[in-house]
């Protein structure tokens, strides 16, 4: 099946654990039948005692004792099976959803908060499974209730009619409860995502907050965000309380009417005492039925909402997916060419499903699907218009120019983190849009200005790029990235853990580790986007020497503000406002381009 045809479904996960789910469901059903016995036998026991039929009463008592024992054994195994199903299914879903998140385009990550993805990967699978198991539990309870309920319906036509009307009223209330629950829970999720993103940013920017004395202002922002989140929860709880009160009112009305009619029927001789006692002792069944319907509605609403949120990651609508071709090339060339490339940054807003439905009400001709968020472009900033250039294979080139001229954007187009609006980007003479993912991503390594370092050891971070790398290859990469001397000073050396996002390393050490990771991968194309900006002059010179050592083995593309780092480049592209206004070697540009010459002079003042 092609990626574009894939979507999220819970069925494959349940199928893998069908025997555990069957065992759990069977024990729940058995538990329900036990509850039926416990609901009916005590009434007959009471009747037997009132009639002084003590032998029959003893038999009922022994049956109850045996039923209690079986119930205790069932309760021993149910939690264990529940834990096994919950842990395994949720973890499998999280892994697959995280994998799907890798297929989402970089532009979608830019347009959404981090928590949008974290909630869908971490929280929503747990919500789905918890409510699914809750739904299974409700079914088992429903079996118990419905058997007793049907049993009660056989006593008298009048009491039966009351119970049937009660069921109809419950269904009407449940319909409105479900819609209200989904609406309010969706708002809670949105506000929760905003809070989670804010907290994540606060934790990650702790040093900046302290150094810039931002605590007071961030406290105000946090209070505002938490206040909105709190209001959404209060609205959810307020609606829940309103429907719960409505349930109790309906129950109180019907149970009163039910018992009054039962007493009247008993007085008139249309109902025997034993049946009345069963009706009286099981009056709570009616309330349990009401609670059961409420729980089913809540379980369904929460499960449906979480399911829809996960499916959004697969739909290629609000979260646009990366698209690759089918062409696989083992030995791709390393020359690069842009042919009439146009690219613009676009910003979008997304109508919620509620907004979409309201729009449909006012415009009957609008055929947009209510079940997806409508994507509306609100702004566009043109970066490249018919940009064309060529980079020779195994050459070292550099892009220079003032901030915002398009240097980094060009690199992101080469690595297909961005996709051009029109035109083609070719590597080895092949349009990268035709390549499969493995061909492109194994051929290009990009080290950006702020590389992410994982909460692992230095060695484990390197092995992410090449799991089969030998110690000799690792040591060579560390030497080439000028990181070997620093590692020699660490008590645990290469096995030192660097902390979350490499917090135990300096900015320059992070960059050198990222460069080592790229060098170890030995890609056809190595892109260094301001990857020496945090290095001191000595470390920068060492990295410069290491780049010189691999010249001619890969195509190396460098973006740098420090012009001294690109003196040895075979070719320099000088950019301004999304255009290449000049090309040449360092010496040639110094001689013929006044802007370039001025940039170099300013740097060396």
**pLDDT tens per residue across span 537-594:** 776 777 677 777 778 888 999 987 778 778 888 999 999 899 999 999 999 999 998 8
Q: Are residues 306 and 418 in the same domain?
A: no
Q: Is residue 360 part of a domain?
A: no
Of residues 349 and 510, the one with the higher pLDDT is 510
Mean of pLDDT over the chain: 82
The tens digit of pLDDT for each residue in 55-72 reads 888 888 888 888 888 888
Residues 280 and 344 in one domain: no
Residue range 483-509, pLDDT digits in tens: 888 899 988 999 999 888 888 888 778
Percent of the chain exceeding pLDDT 70 equals 84
Q: Is 326 inside any structural domain? A: no
Co-location of 52 and 132 in the same domain: yes
Q: Are residues 111 and 188 in the same domain?
A: yes
Q: Is the pLDDT of residue 130 over 50?
A: yes
Whether 518 is in a domain gets the answer yes
Average pLDDT over residues 410-418: 91
Are 307 and 400 part of one and the same domain?
no
CATH number of the domain residue 203 falls in: 1.20.1560.10
Pairing mode, strands 579-584 and 571-576: antiparallel
Domain shared by 28 and 96, yes or no: yes
Regarding whether 342 and 282 lie in a shared domain, the answer is no
**340 and 273 housed in the same domain:** no
Asked whether the predicted pLDDT for residue 2 surpasses 50, the reply is no
What pLDDT is stored for residue 154 in this prediction? 67
Going by DSSP bridges, is the β-strand pair 396-400/571-576 parallel, antiparallel, or unpaired? parallel
Number of domains in the chain: 2
pLDDT of residue 362 exceeding 70, the answer is: no
226 part of a folded domain: yes
pLDDT of 270 > 90? The answer is no
Helix 124-153 × helix 284-311 angle, to 10°: 150
**Residue 234 counted as domain residue:** yes
Q: Is the pLDDT of residue 602 over 90?
A: no
Same domain, 273 and 180: yes
497 and 431 part of one domain:
yes
Q: How would residue 384 be classed by pLDDT, with cut points 50, 70 and 90?
A: very high
130 and 70 fall within a common domain = yes
- Residue 328 in domain: no
Distance of alpha carbon 237 from alpha carbon 230, whole angstroms: 10
- φ, ψ of residue 394 in degrees (nearest 5): 60, 25
Which residues form the domain of 537?
A: 336-350+387-603
Task: Output the furthest CA–CA distance in the chain (Å, rounded).
Answer: 118
Query: DSSP of 459-522, one letter per residue?
Result: HHHHHTT-TT--HHHHHHHHHHTT-HHHHHTSTTGGG-B--GGGTTS-HHHHHHHHHHHHHHHT
């Amino acid at each position: 099946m092609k990626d574009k045809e894939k979507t999220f479904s819970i069925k494959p996960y349940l199928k893998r654990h069908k025997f555990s789910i069957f065992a759990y469901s069977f024990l729940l059903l058995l538990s329900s039948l036990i509850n039926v016995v416990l609901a009916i036998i005590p009434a007959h026991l009471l009747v037997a005692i009132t009639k002084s039929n003590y032998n029959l009463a003893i038999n009922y008592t022994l049956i109850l004792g045996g039923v209690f024992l079986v119930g205790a054994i069932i309760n021993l195994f149910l939690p264990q099976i529940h834990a096994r199903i919950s842990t395994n299914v949720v973890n499998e879903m999280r892994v697959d959803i995280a994998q799907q998140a890798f297929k989402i385009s970089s532009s979608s990550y830019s347009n959404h908060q981090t928590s949008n993805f974290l909630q869908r990967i971490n929280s929503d699978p747990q919500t789905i499974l918890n409510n699914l198991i809750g739904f299974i539990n409700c079914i088992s309870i429903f079996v118990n209730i419905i058997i007793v309920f049907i049993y009660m319906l056989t006593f008298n036509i009048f009491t039966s009619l009351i119970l049937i009307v009660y069921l109809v009223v419950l269904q009407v209330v449940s319909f409105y409860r479900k819609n209200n629950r989904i609406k309010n829970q969706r708002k809670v999720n949105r506000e929760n995502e905003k809070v989670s993103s804010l907290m994540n940013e606060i934790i990650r920017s702790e040093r900046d907050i302290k150094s810039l004395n931002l605590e007071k202002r961030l406290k105000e922002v946090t209070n505002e965000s938490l206040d909105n989140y709190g209001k959404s929860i209060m609205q959810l709880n307020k609606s829940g309380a309103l429907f719960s009160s409505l349930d109790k009112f309906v129950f109180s009305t019907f149970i009163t009417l039910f018992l009054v009619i039962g007493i009247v029927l008993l007085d008139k001789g249309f109902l025997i005492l034993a049946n009345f006692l069963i009706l009286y002792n099981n009056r709570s069944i009616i309330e349990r039925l009401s609670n059961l319907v409420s729980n089913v509605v809540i379980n369904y609403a929460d499960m449906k909402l979480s399911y829809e949120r996960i499916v959004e990651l697969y739909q290629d609508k609000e979260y646009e997916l990366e698209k690759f071709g089918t062409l696989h090339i083992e030995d791709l060339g390393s020359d690069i060419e842009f042919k009439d490339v146009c690219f613009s940054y676009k910003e979008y807003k997304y109508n919620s499903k509620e907004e979409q439905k309201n729009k449909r009400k006012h415009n009957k001709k609008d055929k947009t699907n209510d079940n997806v968020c409508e994507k509306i472009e609100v702004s566009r900033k043109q970066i490249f218009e018919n940009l064309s250039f060529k980079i020779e294979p195994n050459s070292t080139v550099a892009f220079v120019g003032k901030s915002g001229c398009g240097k980094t954007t060009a690199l992101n187009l080469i690595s297909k983190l961005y996709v051009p609006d029109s035109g083609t980007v070719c590597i080895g003479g092949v349009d990268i849009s035709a390549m499969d993912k493995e061909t492109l991503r194994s051929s290009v390594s990009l080290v950006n200005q702020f590389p992410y370092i994982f909460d692992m050891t230095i060695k484990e971070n390197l092995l992410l790029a090449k799991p089969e790398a030998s110690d000799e290859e690792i040591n060579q990469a560390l030497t080439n990235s000028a990181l070997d001397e620093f590692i020699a000073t660490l008590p645990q050396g290469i096995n030192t853990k660097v902390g979350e996002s490499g917090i135990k390393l300096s900015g320059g050490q992070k960059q050198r580790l990222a460069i080592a990771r790229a060098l170890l991968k030995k890609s056809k194309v190595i892109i260094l986007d301001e990857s020496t900006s945090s290095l001191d002059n000595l470390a920068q010179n060492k990295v410069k020497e290491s780049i010189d050592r691999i010249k001619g083995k890969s195509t190396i593309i460098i973006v740098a503000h420090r012009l001294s780092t690109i003196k040895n480049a075979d070719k320099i592209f000088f950019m301004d406002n999304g255009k290449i206004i000049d090309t040449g070697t360092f010496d040639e540009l110094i001689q013929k381009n006044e802007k370039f010459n001025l940039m170099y002079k300013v740097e060396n003042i």
